[in-house]
Amino acid sequence: MKQPGTHTLSGLSTKLAKFSVGLTLQTVPQKAVDNAKIAILDCLGVAVLAASQEIGDKLARFAGKNAAQGSCTIWGTSLRSGMRDAALLNGTLAHGLDYDDRNHASTYTLAVSLAAAEEFDAGGAKSLEAFVVGREIRAALDGLFSRRSSGIGPGAKGWHSNGILGPIASACAASRVLGLAVEQTVAAIGLAAGSSGALTRDGGTMAKPFRVGHAAATGMTCALLAAEGFTSDETILEGRYGLLEALGPIPEEVLMSLGENLGNEFELERDIRIKPFASCTATHATVEAMLRLTEKQAVTAADVELIEADLKPYPLVRQNPKRGFEGRFSMPFCLAHALVYKRLLPDDFSDRRLEEPRIMELIDRFRHTSDAPSLTVVLKNGARLTEPLQTASDLKGWEQTVAKFNKSVGTLLSDNQQSTVVESVQCIQDLASIRNLTRALQQGKEN
């Protein structure tokens, strides 16, 4: 098992920086551009929705007391702040409901890209380039966490990718907007790598989306410091005692994959996996099985003796949630709600729902069956109803993303604002100023 400090990873930090500086829209495949727009629109919609819920209220109170004054929009609110606080707040909102696309990199990448562009009144093309940079940098390093379910890599030990890779990707995206040189971007990467960290244990709490906002704000800060001449180690990722060694041991084949195809293949050419449910991805396949089962069988909570399923205790660490929003990381809550209401909507993760006697009783009737290929509902009359698990479904394409966006923001932004956001994202590369988009995200403001 080869470790950092060998020829395998030589120059990785610099390679990331050169990609960040050199990328232009002309070098990005059209499919990647189209998919970037899908990811951006979805991210904005779920962030605006989050601003209307409990986490948004808490962030708004925090911002009113602590955020620096500035001209950057806090999405879905009437607030404005400086760009670092905007990156923090918008990044947290974007992941606040765990409703963003399954990659999660859109959150901090978009938050930092739009905040920097809004601060300096940059055009949409620059914002889009920065967004692509952040997503691709994250993808270039994502192999570190790709085998966590097999017990391999830092993810298996409790480190979470958003807080480890997010600051690095955000620093690169911010550096692209700021127009930093390669040497400055390497410094920003070094500062970000030394500022990273997040834990899987946060899942289901407000700390998890905060880690995303923190990643965006950290990346922004590191790029701004690098612009002023701050320095860092030039081999902070691959060097002896660097980030990769600290996260190790990591298999040699994983190390060799890091950055291997950066710039030659684009992760954004793969379909964006848009979530249909505002809960952890690990819940989705089983929730869909419950919805199929209840379509076939007339089952009520009173009929149920036991529910058997793989409850995915990793990463679903809130099996017995104490608050409604914790239900996003609780298979028992998600399945109980799906059985009772035949749906699972963003607003369903509330304290009121969790406290319903029939939901609470069902949560107590679950049995964990590791690696179970099916969901089984055992009735009090002895009948066993079984539904095989299938691959979780995704919303796909521009039209389905627009529909989700409109549904998410329908009562929060005016029809004119909704149309402006959709049209602005669709032609983002042509916007003379990104403010044409961001001002339409401000609550109570018409263009």
Answer whether 7-275+416-441 and 281-388 agree in fold. Answer: no
Q: Give the start-end residues of each E strand in 4-149.
A: 72-73, 80-81
Angle of helix 182-193 versus helix 161-178 axis, rounded to 10: 160
Residues in the chain: 447
Instruction: Assign domain 281-388 one CATH number from 3.40.50.300, 3.30.1330.120, 3.20.20.70, 3.40.640.10.
Output: 3.30.1330.120
Helix (H/G/I), strand (E/B), else coil: 366: strand
Alpha carbon distance 8, 277 (integer Å): 40
Alpha carbon distance 43, 121 (integer Å): 21
Residue carrying the six token digits 């960040």: 20
Residue carrying the six token digits 């979805």: 42
Q: Is 12 exposed, middle or buried (0-12, 13-18, 19+ CB in 10 A)?
A: buried
Q: Check: CB of residue 97 under 8 Å from CB of residue 278.
A: yes
Phi, psi at residue 305, to the nearest 5°? -95, -40
| Sign of the dihedral through C-alpha 161, 167, 168, 171 | positive
Alpha carbon distance 208, 27 (integer Å): 34
This prediction has a pTM of 0.96
Q: Which residues contact 304 (CB under 8 A, 6 or more apart)?
A: 339, 362, 365, 377, 378, 379, 380
In this prediction, what percent of the chain has a pLDDT beyond 70? 98
Pair of tokens at residue 283: 């819940």
Closest CA to 172 of 140, 198, 145, 202: 140
Q: Check: CB of residue 33 under 8 Å from CB of residue 253.
A: no
Alpha carbon distance 405, 412 (integer Å): 11
Q: Over its length of 447 residues, how does the chain's per-residue pLDDT go in tens digits?
A: 444 444 357 799 999 999 999 999 999 999 999 999 999 999 999 999 999 999 999 999 999 999 999 999 999 999 999 999 999 999 999 999 999 999 999 999 999 999 999 999 999 999 999 999 999 999 999 999 988 877 888 988 999 999 999 999 999 999 999 999 999 999 999 999 999 999 999 999 999 999 999 999 999 999 999 999 999 999 999 999 999 999 999 999 999 999 999 999 999 999 999 999 999 999 999 999 999 999 999 999 999 999 999 999 989 999 999 999 999 999 999 999 999 999 999 999 999 999 999 999 999 999 999 999 999 999 999 999 999 999 999 999 999 999 999 999 999 999 999 999 999 999 999 999 999 999 999 987 664
| Sign of the dihedral through C-alpha 100, 264, 196, 86 | negative
Q: Which residues contact 185 (CB under 8 A, 6 or more apart)?
A: 16, 17, 20, 21, 171, 172, 175, 223, 226
The CATH number of 7-275+416-441 is 1.10.4100.10
* Beta-carbon count within 10 A of 51 CB: 25
DSSP code, position 169: H
Alpha carbon distance 297, 348 (integer Å): 23
Angle of helix 161-178 versus helix 124-141 axis, rounded to 10: 150
Consecutive H or E run containing 183 = helix 182-193
Question: Hey, what amino acid is at 74?
Answer: I
- Residue 426 CA, chain-centre distance (Å), reads 21
Residue ranges per structural domain of the chain: 7-275+416-441, 281-388
Closest CA to 372 of 310, 315, 281: 310
Consecutive H or E run containing 384 = strand 384-388
DSSP code, position 316: -
